[in-house]
Amino acid sequence: MSSENVPSGVPETPPHQPFIPATEAPPELTWPAILTGIVLGIIFGASSLYLVLKVGLTVSASVPIAVLSITLFRAFSNAFKVRKTTILENNVVQTTGSAGESIAFGVGVTMPALLLLGFEMDPVRVMTVSVLGAVLGILMMIPLRRAFIVKQHGKLIYPEGTACAEVLVAGEKGGATAKMVFIGFGVALVHKFLTAATKLWSSEPSAKLYVTNEATGVKTGLKGGQVSGELSPELLGVGFLIGPRIAALMMAGAVMSYFVLGPLIATFGDKLNEPVAPATWEDAEKKDPKDPGLIRNMDPDGLRAKYLRYIGAGAVAAGGIISMCRALPLIIGSIVGGLRDMRAARSATGTGAGAPRTERDMPMTVVLWGSLVLVLILALVPQLGLGLSFQGIVGAGMILLFGFLFVTVSSRLTGEVGSSSNPISGMTIATLLLVCLIFLILGRTGPSAMLTALTVAAVVCIASSNGGTTSQDLKTGYLVGATPSKQQWAILIGAVTSALVIGLTMLALNSAGVHYTKNSIPADAKLVVPEDAPTEKPGRPYDSGDLLDTKEYRVVHARGGEHDKLKPGRYLVTPDGKPVYRTDEPIAREEKKMDNGEDAPKEFTAPQPRLFANIISGILGGTLEWSLIIAGALIAITLELCGVSALPVAVGMYLSLASSMPIFIGGMLRLVADKVRGKAKSEAESETSPGVLLASGFIAGGTLCGLIVAFFTFLPDQFNQAINLGFHLFSEVNDKGKREWKPDEVEWAKIVSVVMFGLLGAFLLWVGSRKGGVEPETPPSAPPTA
């Protein structure tokens, strides 16, 4: 604070003193720290990606990574009698590793929309956007460091960054242990493997809340109602970490969708003899009087796919925009204050080699030229829809404009409310709406404009997400006395390595869940086959048994607005353009069953990709189902008028009830555990309590096991049959004379699933109720004592 702003007689606030003073230079950016950060970043990034594809949520990874770093290096030092790792090296580990979680969110909520718009989610698109978006967010944050971290010290709190600093200080003094993280990881790994790989019990038990008379077809009870739960350790852990309030709001949204709106639609549509909007090309082709397009023949999953999903998408869009509008005064203040502080920072102490160690940033020339080179690369990659055309130049300009705007906003909001409450989705929706409206005004409405709009939104989303994480890490470094330039290099390295692995992981997850289907392809449909269309043989289930098809087909995409009879998607067609198979992918799952009668691989139900695809195709393709979208938006507005935060409720409305249920249970366990433990003395104590660390282990173990089991698809069928213990022990002969084991349909398997999940919850509650966590002896901003 400058002296002219200080009232007479009031002493100035003493300058900030980091834990490690600028006059000392202990080891910091070392190879062991960088490599450990890369490995932990990849692990947490991959698990975060799996989580965001499942439920559209991630949790901050900085504190768990810091605790793991302290524990691992301490064990290594004791075992091999080498020097103790410094606090600054542990800070580099968490800085490098934290990039994975933020990039996973940006990639997971945007790139899958490519499939929904009818584009290929190929490696070049995914990897380029992932890497360049992540790096751009870091470069754009660097000029803001002095404005937000230094000048606003004491005003911008950065809750997770401050908590992480306290954890690092406690670790330097001999505290902090990752024991509960490792225990949680092991327990979740075993539970998930027994559920998903060996199939010893049901993974998603459910029970309908109505009964159908087989003779008359009359339903009694709560029509369209169903109770279900994906009883997995990772979703239980997510609920425990996000806490009771957010978990309860999400469950409120699920109750509204699946116990109110769904039954109402089922009741009012019970006597209708025609499909009700949104009628699709599938409904028009089916002539069976028991057409699933008729509401009375829909099960709860059908109601969700045809109606509730669109209402939920409208609520999510409105909730995201409202959350950003609520922060608009802060956003405007952030931009104005940030520019003012940046001007003031230019006249402050230099940041070059002659400056104190704790004030050295990367050179501004690297930031400016690096940002321009990144945007040029984005424009030159043809798969991204930019190019050096008028449309591409406009798109590149919007990346720079919206990128810097929302990186600034994200960095400031992270300081105010923390990274977990940062409305990145709302910023992305706002970017997408603005880009689409600009293209609409310019008359650019074809598929190429859709691709460009998604590319711009994806880069801005990833940059904003990573910019907020970067500011949080730099705050931690400011408190413990890190060298800013070394931290910036560390997070750049972590961002590039994590982005590469996250991109490949998403492509592999999608490929592992793909199957081909002949269902619902109109007989007279035809596609134009480009000369350069690639060839492909059908995958599962058409590569085994009586569904063997070894022919090669051409791959052609049907995109929104181009074909009246074909849903946007990826098709295998004959040389003359006749569609034979549609590629059914887990991110855009349409079929519950494969053509051989087996259950299709599990879908990913994250709300954001479908919402973004709906916005793009709705504005630029004119295909949005406005009535249901608007109804969802009005529900969100109603909630806000009642003083309820709409976004978490909207997410609960969109997600399946099966996903919301274990999250709600986890939140309630956190409520009880906190009541028993008592109020935490500090943010760090709360973030490192035994229950929080165990829940973090649940998330890591469950998600990583889910990734491993998903990749079992690439292994020979004999392997998958060998580990399917449920089939060997409990299979029965069906009416077609084949042996089968479907635990989700067997009552005792559902009961066992609930019991095993109950044991997980009881263990989490017992651990979460115990005292523990970091309690620093001195604040992290205090200088070390002699």
Q: Are 199 and 743 in contact (CB under 8 A)?
A: yes
Query: pLDDT value at position 773?
Result: 61
Indicate if the pLDDT at residue 342 is higher than 60.
no
What does the alpha-carbon distance between residue 191 and residue 226 come to, in Å, rounded to a whole number? 25
The reported pTM is: 0.77
The pLDDT, as a whole number, for residue 206 is 86
Using the Cα atoms of residue 353, residue 354, residue 358 and residue 361 in order, give the sign of their dihedral.
negative
Closest CA to 701 of 243, 238, 244: 238
Least confident of 473-487, 489-503, 547-561: 547-561
Average of per-residue pLDDT values in the chain: 79
What pLDDT is stored for residue 601 in this prediction?
79
What integer pLDDT is reported at residue 50 of this predicted model? 83
Cis peptide preceding 382, ω within 30 of 0: no
Average pLDDT over residues 253-258: 90
What average pLDDT score do residues 363-390 get? Answer: 76
Percentage of residues of the chain with pLDDT beyond 90: 13
Instruction: Provide the pLDDT confidence category of residue 281 given band limits of 50, 70 and 90.
Output: very low
Q: With residue 556 as reference, give the H or E element that holds it.
A: strand 553-558
CB within 8 Å of 271: residues ≥ 6 apart: 296
Q: CA-based Rg of the chain, rounded to a whole angstrom?
A: 27
Domain boundaries, the chain: 24-177+323-347+357-512, 515-584
- Quick check: 161 and 482 in contact, CB under 8 A? no
pLDDT value, residue 176 = 59
Mean pLDDT score, 63-86: 87
- pLDDT tens figures, 527-561: 888 887 888 888 767 665 556 677 888 888 877 55
- Which tops the pLDDT comparison, 99 or 352? 99
